[in-house]
Amino acid sequence: MRQITFSGLMAKMVAMPEKIEAGVAIGLTKCAVEVQKTAVAKFGEYQPAVGPYPEWQLLTLDTLHKKMDLAGANGPDPLIGHYPPGEQNSIYPVPLKQSITMEVDEAAMIAQVGTNDPVGEWQEFGTTRGIPPRPFLRPALYEKEDFIKKTLDEAIGLALFSKF
């Protein structure tokens, strides 16, 4: 059996916050990657309701025709990220699902998954101009809640027990 002195225990406890922060940072990154993958996977199929978030409404026939005519889409795939030729510019830099990014600020212990594409906001929340909400970010976070809790619990536990 390994013995530890009181001063040795105190030294380990003083160092513990740094170890916990490092473990949480690793856990946050794993969680953000998982939420990002889940959000990206929502494109190309109509999504069912998830928790408090509504199912995706079908695209209108007019929208489907525009997507097929202008974007070359082969069918009624919602939010597949096709933009009309020539419109991938500063407003539409990349297809929507490719614009989903994740960022972890280890110093602040914050992880963010999102998009800076304005179409993402329109789809996530809907508009007053006729686009119904088709959320993809919030449901991804909701679906991964248990994964997040488990991952962060494990990260903290490993950090705590690796010190002793």
pLDDT single digits (tens) 72-119: 555 445 555 445 445 554 444 457 888 899 999 988 889 999 998 888
Whether 88 maps to a domain, the answer reads no
Domain count across the chain:
1
Note the pTM of the prediction, 2 decimals.
0.77
Least confident of 7-16, 103-112, 143-152: 7-16
61/122 Cα distance (integer angstroms): 19
Whether 72 maps to a domain, the answer reads no
Q: Are 122 and 131 in contact (CB under 8 A)?
A: yes
Whether 123 maps to a domain, the answer reads yes
In this prediction, what percent of the chain has a pLDDT beyond 70? 77
Whether 75 maps to a domain, the answer reads no
In this prediction, what percent of the chain has a pLDDT beyond 90? 38
Whether 90 maps to a domain, the answer reads no
139/145 Cα distance (integer angstroms): 10
Whether the per-residue pLDDT at 150 is higher than 90: the answer is yes
Q: Are 134 and 56 in contact (CB under 8 A)?
A: yes
Q: Give me the pLDDT at residue 78, please.
A: 54
Whether 148 maps to a domain, the answer reads yes
Whether 82 maps to a domain, the answer reads no
Domain of residue 131 covers 6-58+95-161
Query: b/e per residue, 97-134, with b = 16+ CB within 10 A?
Result: bebbebebeeeeeebebbbebebbeebbebeeeeeebb
Whether 49 maps to a domain, the answer reads yes
Q: Give me the pLDDT at residue 113, please.
A: 97
Q: Give me the pLDDT at residue 86, please.
A: 52
Mention every residue, 6+ apart, whose C-beta is less than 8 A from residue 39.
100, 113, 136, 137, 140
Whether the per-residue pLDDT at 133 is higher than 70: the answer is yes
Q: Give me the pLDDT at residue 27, please.
A: 92
Q: Give me the pLDDT at residue 93, please.
A: 47
What are the start-end ranges of the H helices in the chain? Answer: 6-40, 61-66, 118-125, 137-143, 145-161
